[in-house]
């Protein structure tokens, strides 16, 4: 009998302990942050968060409220500002589902290192969100735009970044660990894709914006911001951005326009592979870039005889030149203007010749600016699409 | 005999394997990457090779008196007083290790998963379950380990598989950048964590029924465990790069956070935590068990179970008070743990072994002498 009591007591104690959920948070107690904007203020940071309104997204009936809400707070550090938001937001912020961090341009110019520490230290944050720089407007304004099609603007940005990197190749997705890695590394400097608001800036937070067929305002990603260590020093133009992606072997698919007779031909790059080699020649570092690119004809706007191999070879040549020009332009542009090794050439030397790298490491920026390079492009056009000859030849009168 | 349980060589192998992975799986990669940078995987492999010699020593020592635990061996070889003093020194190390493990669990869970839960609560819960296991005896502990073993292997495989798309080969280049010195430094630090800790199996090996296969099982368990660790270090570096691995307190947990297969299989870092909790549970339980058994043998008690509750209190309080903060704890791991482990788990057994061999020889000589007369 006594033993039975003992067992019963034991079960009761265990029951009390095994309920778990010491610090549970139910879904209706947390505010899921999808985007985080960080701007500079006079004595610290202005933090803006975009929180989703779960009832509006998942509920069967919509009440006409907005799907996302933006809050801002101003405090000395990022962490403090996020906590200060509790005075405004009725729920506790939950950062694990963050998709997008937008950094204001003035802050980026001053240095983003301090901000990144919080993002890397806090336990709720993962490293699977993308970082972008707000161009021309504060980050808080970027978060204040309602987007059409995607209910959650942060998701729109997330997929737009991924899609344009894959298909347009003038932007680049940057995650936290990669960014920190290139800030820390001496042989590589970071780039971050820029994002800006187009249209009527006033209309951003207005819900009616998304009720138009053509919204008055929207978000667009464009161009790459060049950094030196953690400071933004300038922007690459579109062609150079593409060149950058060619050099860093970040091209999945893109469109290349080449001239032909009195019009243009668009070639869709379907496969591209770049290898970068570093060599020391006569005591000077030298970079050799080899690009193997394969494409299909995407659009023909001129009179060209595509059944002829000769003319296809001519197109291939143009295709190669086009890529080569972009790559060279990108390197020269960065060498002259920014002196910042965003291509990671230093890392190439670091990997291939660690001993020599030790010599160059200290003043690599200078070495980089005078670095010699050669570019070799191997371009092939494989297929013509679903039609062979263009009917352009027939339209001529 | 205090422990009547018998385990098979396979059980022994599994428990050695799990013991080797436990706790190092979480802190190992960071520790190694801090010293050896992108060559950490070499450091880890080197440490494994060196540690085979430790296992060799433990096996030789165990085969001197195959049916006696280390504590009993000490008394037999060194006599009552010195022997028991050596035993207590040995056991105090495992007292410390147990509390260190409890501390690690607490620190990890309060930093990464259950941030708002008091650390004491986590520690007490964990130790209670461990106490439960120890009370039920060696046989139960080992069989449980065998039951959970497929889960651990399955999760590990799944985890490694999911990380393959994230691998970037450039991260381990340039190979051999800093030369041999950082590699040796790195491997030196991973000797204490976990390989020297395997000395606790001197308390367990007498209870393995198949005496011949113990050696093989010990080697195999250590080796497979070590290879898993090396593999893990390599993957951490391949995926995150040396810098990021070194900067994180729990790199393998961050690895779990990185998994994302088609936006579908993602956010499964808790699997890493599960592997870790399983393995560290068995590690803690074995340490705790060895400690209680050893103490009972030193004091000639006829049941070690009476020691369990007092020991639990001692372990919890040491875990709470030994280190004021996590920085102190990591400093301790970096600078003190390996020399301490070397002293207690290598030089001490070596000393006992040498004396034991001499005594045994003398005993045989004496015997033959008396026979001759």
Q: Which CATH class is domain A239-397?
A: alpha beta
Name the residue among B112, B113, B244 with its Cβ closest to that of A181.
B244
Q: Shortest CA distance to B200 belongs to which of B34, B24, B69, B40? A: B69
Domain ranges in chain A are 25-236, 239-397
Q: Which residues of A touch B240 (CB under 8 A)?
A: 177
Is B267 part of a structural domain of the chain?
yes
State the average pLDDT over residues A370-397. 81
| Beta-strand pair A217-228/A191-199 | antiparallel
Residue B91 is predicted with a pLDDT of 93
Is B3 part of a structural domain of the chain?
no
* pLDDT tens digit sequence for A12-23: 887 876 766 667
Question: What backbone phi and psi angles, to 5 degrees, belong to A30?
Answer: -115, 155
* Best of A13, A19, A22, A347 to mutate (most B CBs within 10 Å, chain B): A22
Alpha helices in B37-179 (DSSP H): 40-64, 70-78, 80-108, 119-136, 138-163
Count structural domains, chain B: 1
Are B13 and B21 contacting, i.e. CB atoms less than 8 angstroms apart? no
Q: Which residues of B touch A184 (CB under 8 A)?
A: 243
> B210: domain CATH number?
1.20.1740.10
How near does any CA of chain B get to the CA of A359, in Å? 14
B278 sits in which H/E element: helix B269-298
Residue B296 is predicted with a pLDDT of 92
Is B207 part of a structural domain of the chain?
yes
Q: Which of A122-136, A149-163, A263-277, B253-267 has the lowest mean pLDDT?
A: B253-267
Distance CA B201, CA A290 (A): 57
Q: Which residues of B touch A123 (CB under 8 A)?
A: 111-113, 115
Residue B259 is predicted with a pLDDT of 81
Name the residue among B112, B241, B258 with its Cβ closest to that of A181.
B241
With cut-offs at 50, 70 and 90, classify the pLDDT of residue A218: confident
User: Mean pLDDT of all residues in chain A?
Assistant: 85
Is B2 part of a structural domain of the chain?
no
CB contact under 8 A, A351 and B243: no
Question: How far, CA to CA in Å, does A98 sit from each of A36, A45, A101, A234?
Answer: 7, 19, 8, 27
Residue A203 is predicted with a pLDDT of 67
Are A344 and A188 contacting, i.e. CB atoms less than 8 angstroms apart? yes
A300 sits in which H/E element: strand A284-300
Distance CA B88, CA B90 (A): 5
Would you say residue A287 has pLDDT above 70? yes
Are A34 and A50 contacting, i.e. CB atoms less than 8 angstroms apart? yes
| Beta-strand pair A100-104/A30-41 | parallel
Distance CA A106, CA A103 (A): 9
DSSP character at residue B334: I
How near does any CA of chain A get to the CA of B131, in Å? 14
Are B238 and B165 contacting, i.e. CB atoms less than 8 angstroms apart? no
Which pair of structure tokens corresponds to residue B159? 């985890």
List the pLDDT tens digit at each of the 373 positions of chain B.
Answer: 566 778 888 999 999 999 998 888 888 888 888 888 888 888 888 999 998 899 999 998 888 888 888 888 888 888 888 989 999 999 999 999 999 999 988 988 888 888 888 888 889 989 999 998 999 988 999 999 999 999 999 988 988 888 888 888 888 777 777 778 888 888 888 888 788 889 899 888 888 888 888 888 999 999 999 999 999 889 888 988 888 888 888 888 888 888 877 777 777 888 888 888 889 999 999 999 999 999 999 998 888 888 999 999 999 999 998 888 888 888 888 888 889 999 999 999 999 999 988 988 888 888 877 766 6
Residue B2 is predicted with a pLDDT of 67
- A377-395: burial string, b at 16+ Cβ within 10 Å, e else: bebebeebeeeeebeeeee
Q: Shortest CA distance to A385 belongs to which of A265, A293, A302? A: A265
Is B232 part of a structural domain of the chain?
yes
Which pair of structure tokens corresponds to residue B191? 């000797």
Residue B33 is predicted with a pLDDT of 86
Are B74 and B84 contacting, i.e. CB atoms less than 8 angstroms apart? yes
Q: Which residues of B touch A277 (CB under 8 A)?
A: none
Name the residue among B117, B241, B254 with its Cβ closest to that of A23.
B117
Instruction: Say what percent of chain B tops pLDDT 70.
Output: 98
CB contact under 8 A, B266 and A128: yes
* pLDDT tens digit sequence for A329-371: 889 988 888 888 899 888 888 888 888 888 888 888 888 888 8
Most confident of A63-77, A166-180, B91-105: B91-105
- A82-96: burial string, b at 16+ Cβ within 10 Å, e else: bebbeeebeeebbbe
Say whether the peptide bond before residue B174 is cis (omega within 30 degrees of 0): yes
Secondary structure of B234-258 as H, E, C letters:
HHHHHHHHHHHHHHCCCHHHHHHHH
Secondary structure of A92-151 as H, E, C letters:
EEECCCCCEEEEEHHHHHHCCHHHHHHHHHCCCCCCCCEEEEECCCCHHHHCCCCCCCCC
A237 sits in which H/E element: none
A38 in helix, strand or coil? strand
Beta bridge partners of A30: A92
* Best of B177, B264, B265 to mutate (most A CBs within 10 Å, chain A): B177
Would you say residue A232 has pLDDT above 80? yes
CB contact under 8 A, B114 and A17: no
Alpha helices in A137-292 (DSSP H): 139-142, 153-167, 176-184, 238-247
């Amino acid at each position: 009998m006594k033993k039975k009591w003992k067992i019963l007591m034991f079960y009761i104690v265990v029951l009390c302990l095994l309920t778990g959920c010491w610090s549970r948070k139910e879904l209706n107690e947390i505010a899921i942050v999808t985007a985080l904007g960080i701007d500079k203020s006079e004595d610290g940071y202005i933090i803006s968060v975009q929180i989703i309104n779960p009832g509006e997204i998942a509920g069967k009936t919509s009440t006409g409220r907005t799907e996302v809400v933006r809050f801002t707070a101003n405090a000395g550090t990022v962490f403090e500002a996020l906590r200060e938001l509790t005075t405004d937001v009725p729920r506790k912020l939950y950062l694990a589902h963050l998709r997008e961090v937008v950094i204001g341009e003035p802050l980026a110019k001053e240095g983003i290192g301090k901000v990144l520490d919080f993002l890397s230290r806090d336990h709720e944050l993962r490293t699977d969100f993308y970082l972008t720089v707000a161009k021309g407007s504060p980050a808080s304004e970027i978060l204040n735009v309602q987007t059409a099609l995607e209910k959650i603007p942060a998701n729109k940005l997330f997929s737009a970044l991924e899609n344009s990197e894959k298909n347009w190749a003038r932007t680049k997705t940057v995650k936290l660990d990669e960014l920190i890695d290139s800030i820390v590394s001496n042989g590589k400097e970071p780039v971050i894709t820029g994002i800006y608001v187009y249209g009527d800036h006033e209309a951003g937070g207005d819900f009616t914006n998304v009720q138009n067929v053509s919204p008055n305002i929207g978000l667009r990603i464009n161009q790459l911001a060049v950094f030196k260590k953690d400071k933004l020093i300038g922007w690459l133009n579109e062609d150079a951005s593409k060149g950058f992606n060619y050099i860093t072997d970040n091209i999945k698919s893109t469109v290349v326009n080449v001239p032909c007779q009195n019009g243009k031909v668009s070639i869709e790059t379907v496969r591209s592979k770049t290898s970068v080699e570093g060599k020391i020649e006569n005591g000077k570092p030298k970079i050799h870039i080899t690009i193997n690119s394969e494409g299909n004809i995407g659009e023909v706007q001129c009179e060209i005889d595509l059944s002829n191999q000769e003319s296809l070879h001519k197109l291939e040549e143009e295709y190669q030149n086009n890529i080569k020009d972009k790559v060279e332009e990108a390197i020269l542009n960065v060498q002259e203007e920014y002196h910042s090794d965003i291509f990671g050439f230093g890392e190439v030397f670091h990997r291939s010749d660690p001993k020599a790298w030790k010599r160059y490491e200290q003043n690599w920026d200078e070495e980089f600016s005078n670095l010699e390079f050669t570019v070799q492009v191997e371009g092939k056009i494989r297929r013509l699409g679903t039609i062979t000859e263009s009917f352009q030849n027939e339209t001529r009168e | 005999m205090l422990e009547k349980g018998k385990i098979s060589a396979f059980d022994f192998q599994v428990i050695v394997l799990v013991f080797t992975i436990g706790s190092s799986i979480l802190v190992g990669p960071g520790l190694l990457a801090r010293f050896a940078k992108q060559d950490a995987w070499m450091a880890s492999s080197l440490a494994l090779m060196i540690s085979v010699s430790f296992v060799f020593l433990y096996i030789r020592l165990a085969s001197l008196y195959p049916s006696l635990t280390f504590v009993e061996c000490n008394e037999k070889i060194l006599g009552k007083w010195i022997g028991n003093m050596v035993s207590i020194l040995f056991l105090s190390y495992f007292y410390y290790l147990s509390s260190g493990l409890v501390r690690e669990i607490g620190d990890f869970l309060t930093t990464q998963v259950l941030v708002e839960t008091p650390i004491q609560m986590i520690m007490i819960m964990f130790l209670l379950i461990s106490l439960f296991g120890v009370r039920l005896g060696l046989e139960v502990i080992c069989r449980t380990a065998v039951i959970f073993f497929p889960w651990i292997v399955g999760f590990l495989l799944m985890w490694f598989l999911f990380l393959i798309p994230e691998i970037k080969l450039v991260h381990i280049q340039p190979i051999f950048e800093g030369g041999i010195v950082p590699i040796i430094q790195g491997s030196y630090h991973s000797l204490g964590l976990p390989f020297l800790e395997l000395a606790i199996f001197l308390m367990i090996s007498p209870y393995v029924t198949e005496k011949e296969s113990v050696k093989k099982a010990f080697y195999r368990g250590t080796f497979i465990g070590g290879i898993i660790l090396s593999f893990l270090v390599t993957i951490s570096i391949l995926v995150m790069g040396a810098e990021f691995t070194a900067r994180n307190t729990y790199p393998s947990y961050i690895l779990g956070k990185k998994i994302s297969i088609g936006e579908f299989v993602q956010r499964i870092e808790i699997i890493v935590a599960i592997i870790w909790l399983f393995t560290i549970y068995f590690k803690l339980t074995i340490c705790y068990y060895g400690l209680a058994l050893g103490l009972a043998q030193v004091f000639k008690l006829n049941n070690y179970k009476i020691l369990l509750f007092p020991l639990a209190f001692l372990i919890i309080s040491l875990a709470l008070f030994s280190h004021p903060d996590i920085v102190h704890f990591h400093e301790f791991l970096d600078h003190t743990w390996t020399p301490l482990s070397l002293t207690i788990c290598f030089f001490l057994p070596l000393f006992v072994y040498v004396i034991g061999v001499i005594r045994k020889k003398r005993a045989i000589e004496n015997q033959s002498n008396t026979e001759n007369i």
